[in-house]
Structure 1
Amino acid sequence: MRRARRTLAATVTLAVASTTLTGCFEEPSPHDAVRDFLVGWQTEDYELAAGRTDGDPAKVRKALADTKLELDAASFRFKITSLGVEGEESKANFHAEVDLGENNPLWEYDGVLPLHLVDGMWRVRWSPSVLHPQLKEGQRFAVDTEPNARMPVVDRANDPLQSDTILYVAGVYPAKLGDRAEEVVARLSEVTGYAQDRLLSRVRSSPPEKFVQLVTFGRSRYQSMRAKLDAIAGIVVQPQDQPVNPDPPRQIVGSVSALTPETEQKLGGPQRAGDSVGKSGLQQAYQNYLTGSTETKVITLDLKTGKEVAQLKEWPGRQNVSVKTTIDRAAQQAAEQAVADTETSALVAVQRTTGEILAVGTKGLHQERDALAGKFPAGTAFSIVAADALLKAGVSPKQRLACPQERTVGGAKFVHVGQNTGVTTSATFQEHFAKGCVTALASLARRVTAGDLDRSAQDFGIGQPWRLPLKSFSGARPALSSDADKAKAIAGQNVQVSPLSMALVAATVASGTWRPPVLVTEPKTADPAAEPVPATQPAPIPMDPKIRATLTTMMRAGAVGTPAQAGKGKVYGVTAYAGDQQTWFVGWQGDVAIAVLAKNYNAGAVAGSFFAGLGSSS
């Protein structure tokens, strides 16, 4: 479709140009012959073009048609730059623009049309040099392409996050097909669904001795079609190793497939047969960085030997590059092990001082859609954010609060479901925070304003406009118009978050500064195919040092004596309830901050397993 649109646009352009040309010169002049020849060439009216030359019409028509095939050109455009007359001889200089398709730049060159009078009519003096000054008798055009292999997605240590797998590329050696090229291509088109004209133009435009890649297959598709391919004499299948089998985190890295007729048409980009196409994750988001880099040359060949005579133009192609992520293999392995015994869970680990995502582990959930972009109730895990506002409002961590089984605040009812034990009926704010007593926490709604809660949520990144190259969710905080709304917010009942956004909350307290998340460090600019990423991410937001010190103490109390404190070293955090048998753990150990969401399982136990595994791998 893209090629057709370009051709149409070029035709319209020439129609306007030809009108202009007509008015440029006065008769008697060779301008009509120049105009008709170039218009005919551009619009594929080869009869018109040939009629304005002194050559054999059939030979000229064939030469012009062959030029389009040999260049696999989408369109031609021409502009006359000068025209001079000296007696019965004339010379027209023109500028040519040839669209070679496949997202290659336009091939531009300057040509010359020699003319002379034949029986009172101006005619182009025909020779191959009319098509290009360096083309001679016994020669033809060709386009030589050299695609580079797909580059890998790598971890923070530059080690590939995928292993090689075999793809099967079916192609031909044009010189071995002889006059069977159309027949072979027609059969391959019937078997694979690729457009016959596109396959044939690739064959005809390529150097005859070079293997021309036409169709790529994955292992299962190749096995299902092998017999049909083997039955087409002239088709050669070459296995190629490509880095497409993802390592953990598999759904973040993403899957890759062979190019198909549907994806080739949809992409409309530099991809050619033999390429692989990212279907999900970073492989899809950074498709145009990882692959599509093709070196292209326009050359002339000797018709008898098939050897290259001259190189007319070369494009090195955009260099494809690896995509470097922030994933840490040791952290990822620990995350995979930590969630292994659960049925439904997600764990996101970030470096507390940078916001870089170190690991994403899930069981029964999707790493991108749920761990990065999921929308889950925050539950009492949001009390970390609420505590920031409450402490700023003057609430002391030593203030004693009752923890009844039920409490109503502003008409909203809260029930302490008893999932946390050891909470006395008159414990301190810090103790209720550590144990997640929802009725005690909700009772503080009148001690803080809606603006205070909203500012703290914003300072912890909830609802901030940060984005990743993959789908992500920074959280959503509602408008708070009553004490009931504020109480629900403190209890996290009307706040939605993702595991990633809560890992950043933990990192904020751990480091003293909120920072937006980072998943990819190179390339620096977003791939055009990726999710839109703002030109500038939100700026880091520092915490009040005194508030941070108090909140750190409270989160240390929240981890002591819980399954989260399973290994060596101090763990900070809170285990929270979010309804529907879902629990959170939000906290950190050392330089690693995490959020765990688990269903029918203690999220603190997952956190403890992660920290223990991370410690043993370091």
Structure 2
Amino acid sequence: MRRARRILAATVTLAVAGTTLTGCFEEPSPHDAVRDFLVGWQSEDYDLAAGRTDGDVATVRTALSDAKLELDAASFRFKIKSVTVNGDESKADFHAEVDLGENNPLWEYDGMLPLHLVDGTWKVRWSPSVLHPQLKEGQRFAVDTETKSRQPVVDRAGDPLQSDTTLYVVGVYPSKLADQAEDVVARLSEITGYAQDRLLSRIRSSPPDKFVQLVTFGRKLYLSKKSKLEAIPGIETQPQPQPVDPDAPKQIVGSVSALTPETEQKLGGPQRAGDSVGRSGLQAAYQDYLTGSTQTKVITLDLKTGKEVAQLKEWPGRQNVSVKTTIDRAIQASAEQAVADTETSALVAVQRDTGEIRAVATKGLSQEKDALAGKFAAGTAFSIVAADALIKGGVSPKQRLACPQERTVGGARFVHAGQFTGVTPSATFQENFAKGCVTALASLARRVTAADLAKSAQAFGVGQPWRLPLKSFSGSLSALTSDADKARAIAGQNVEVSPLSMALVAAAVSSGTWRPPVLVTDPKSPDPAAEVEPAAQPAPVPIDPKVRTALTAMMRAGAIGTPAQAGRSKVYGVTATAGSQQTWFVGWQGDVAIAVLAKNYNAGAVAGSFFAGLQNSS
């Protein structure tokens, strides 16, 4: 498809070029000969071009046709720079633009057409140098390409987050094919689905003694086609280890596959046969960085020896680089272990004072679509954010609040399901917060304004336009137009959050500043072709010191006596409900803040397992 678009563009340009080449000349002069030759070459009307030379028509026609094949060119475009006449001799200087196709660069050079009068008619004096000043008799063009091995996605220490897997690159040495090239590509096309003309042009444009990579297979597909491939004369297979087998967090790192005809057309990037293609996660987001771009040289070859004579142009290609993430292997391992015994859960861990994501682990959920970008009811976990507005509004953590089984606020009914016990009828705000008494928390709706709740939500990142290279969700708070709406917000019933957004809430309380998330530290943007810096991240937001002091004490109380704390160093957090089956734990230990979402399982127990594993690994 990419190639087709280029050819179409060239055709449109040709119409313009034809007008340019024909509009300003009158007979008798060399201009018509120059025009017809270049238009014929550009439009592949080689008989027209050859007829304007003094050479053998068949020889010139073949030379022009071969030049296109030897360069694997999608199109030629020409512009006349000047035409001078000196008696019976003339010279036309022209500028050439050759689209080398396959997402290769545009090759530009200046050429010269010598002309002379033959029986009163201007003719281009034919020689190979008409095609390019450095092309001589007994030589041909060739395009020498070099693909670069895929670079790895690495953790924060620079260690690869994937291991090598062998891919199988099938190709040929053109010099060994003799006259069998067309038969070889026909049979290979039938097996692989690649277009015959594309395979053939790659072979014909390459140096004869160089291995031409044509098709890449994964192990399973290669083994299924191995016998058919081996039956094609001239076909050779080169196993190539590439870093494509992801380690944890597998879905964040992403999967990689061999290049196929479908992905080659879809990507339209610097990929060529022999490359691997990121299909998901960071492998897909940073595909162009991990693969770089193909090194390309236009050269001339000696027809007898096949050796390089001259290099006409070189493009070194963009250097491919590894992608450095913020993932910590030890923390990731603890996260994986913590969710292993659950059926449905997600755990996100972040560095409290940077927002850097240290681990993403899930069971029965997607690491990207759910842990980073999921939209889940916040439940009473949102009381952390609501407490910021309430404390600023004058509500003391020591204020006594009743925790009835049921309560109605502004017409909205709230039920304390009783999953958490130990709340006395006259418990404090801190105690009700720690135990997640939804009826007590909802009763505070009249003590805070809708604007203040929204302001606190924004300060803790809810709805902030942060950016990550993968899909993510910062949360959303519904419009608050009544006491009932405010009560639902305090109870987290009209608030949606992701595990990532709640981990950042915990990090904000722990460090004293909310910060946006960071997953990749280098490169700065997934797009290597970006001409401008990516949009700035939201600015860090400091938490009011008095509020932070109160919230720290409240979250310490929330962790004491829970599975998250049992037998371990100081843990801070709250275990919360969001419906009958979903629980949250949002908190921290040391400099690692986490959010755990679990269904039909105690999220605090998952957090406790995580902190235990982390403590044992340190």
TM over 0.5: same fold? yes
Q: Residue 330 of structure 1 aligns to a residue in which SS?
A: helix
Q: Residue 64 of structure 1 aligns to a residue in which SS?
A: helix
Aligned to 2:254: 254
What do residues 127-168 of structure 1 show as CA deviations (whole Å, max 9, x unaligned)?
000000110111000000011100000000000000000111
| Distance in 2 separating the partners of 1:457 and 1:54 | 81
In the alignment, structure 1 residue 544 sits paired with structure 2 residue 552 = no
Superposition map of 1:521-600 within 5 A:
521-527=521-527, 535-600=535-600
| Distance in 2 separating the partners of 1:317 and 1:102 | 13
Would the aligned equivalents of 1:510 and 1:593 in 2 still touch at CA under 8 Å?
A: yes
Aligned to 2:4: 4
Aligned to 1:274: 274
Superposition map of 1:261-410 within 5 A:
261-410=261-410
| Distance in 2 separating the partners of 1:8 and 1:398 | 75
Q: Residue 317 of structure 1 aligns to a residue in which SS?
A: coil
Structure 1 pair 529–444 and aligned structure 2 pair: CA distance change class (3 A)? farther
Would the aligned equivalents of 1:275 and 1:292 in 2 still touch at CA under 8 Å?
A: no
Amino acid at match of 1:49: A
Would the aligned equivalents of 2:513 and 2:542 in 1 still touch at CA under 8 Å?
A: yes
Would the aligned equivalents of 2:289 and 2:526 in 1 still touch at CA under 8 Å?
A: no
In the alignment, structure 1 residue 149 sits paired with structure 2 residue 176 = no
Amino acid at match of 2:615: G
Amino acid at match of 1:6: R
What do residues 405-453 of structure 1 show as CA deviations (whole Å, max 9, x unaligned)?
1111111111111100111111000000000000000000011110111
Amino acid at match of 1:279: R
| Distance in 1 separating the partners of 2:567 and 2:126 | 86
Aligned to 2:202: 202
What is the deviation of 1:14? 2.7
Aligned to 2:28: 28
| Distance in 2 separating the partners of 1:609 and 1:302 | 69
Aligned to 2:416: 416
Q: Residue 451 of structure 2 aligns to a residue in which SS?
A: helix
| Distance in 1 separating the partners of 2:178 and 2:505 | 68
| Distance in 1 separating the partners of 2:336 and 2:356 | 18
What is the deviation of 1:528? 6.7
Give structure 2 stretches of 5+ with no counterpart. none
Q: Which moved more, 1:338-347 or 1:17-26?
A: 17-26
Superposition map of 1:155-194 within 5 A:
155-194=155-194
| Distance in 2 separating the partners of 1:566 and 1:141 | 74
| Distance in 1 separating the partners of 2:267 and 2:19 | 36
Aligned to 1:53: 53
Aligned to 2:100: 100
Aligned to 1:74: 74
Aligned to 1:435: 435
| Distance in 2 separating the partners of 1:194 and 1:222 | 15
Would the aligned equivalents of 1:526 and 1:533 in 2 still touch at CA under 8 Å?
A: no
Aligned to 2:233: 233
What is the deviation of 1:315? 0.3
What is the deviation of 1:12? 2.3
Aligned to 1:493: 493
| Distance in 1 separating the partners of 2:297 and 2:20 | 33
Amino acid at match of 2:551: L
Aligned to 1:91: 91
Would the aligned equivalents of 2:153 and 2:325 in 1 still touch at CA under 8 Å?
A: yes
Structure 1 pair 567–245 and aligned structure 2 pair: CA distance change class (3 A)? farther
What do residues 541-562 of structure 1 show as CA deviations (whole Å, max 9, x unaligned)?
1111111111111111111111
The two structures, once aligned, show a CA RMSD in angstroms of 1.3
Amino acid at match of 1:446: R
Q: Where do 4+ consecutive residues of structure 1 move more than 4 Å?
A: none
Aligned to 2:14: 14
Structure 1 pair 533–361 and aligned structure 2 pair: CA distance change class (3 A)? farther
Aligned to 1:611: 611
Amino acid at match of 1:611: F
Q: Residue 220 of structure 1 aligns to a residue in which SS?
A: helix
Amino acid at match of 1:355: G
| Distance in 2 separating the partners of 1:525 and 1:16 | 38
What do residues 569-615 of structure 1 show as CA deviations (whole Å, max 9, x unaligned)?
21110000111311100001111000000111111111111111111
Would the aligned equivalents of 1:512 and 1:543 in 2 still touch at CA under 8 Å?
A: yes
Q: Percent identity?
A: 84
Q: Residue 178 of structure 1 aligns to a residue in which SS?
A: coil
When normalised by structure 1's length, the TM-score is 0.98
What do residues 171-190 of structure 1 show as CA deviations (whole Å, max 9, x unaligned)?
00000000110110111011
| Distance in 1 separating the partners of 2:37 and 2:341 | 76
What is the deviation of 1:331? 0.3
Would the aligned equivalents of 1:574 and 1:586 in 2 still touch at CA under 8 Å?
A: yes
The count of residues paired between Structure 1 and Structure 2 equals: 617
Superposition map of 1:124-143 within 5 A:
124-143=124-143
What is the deviation of 1:224? 1.0
Q: Residue 229 of structure 2 aligns to a residue in which SS?
A: helix
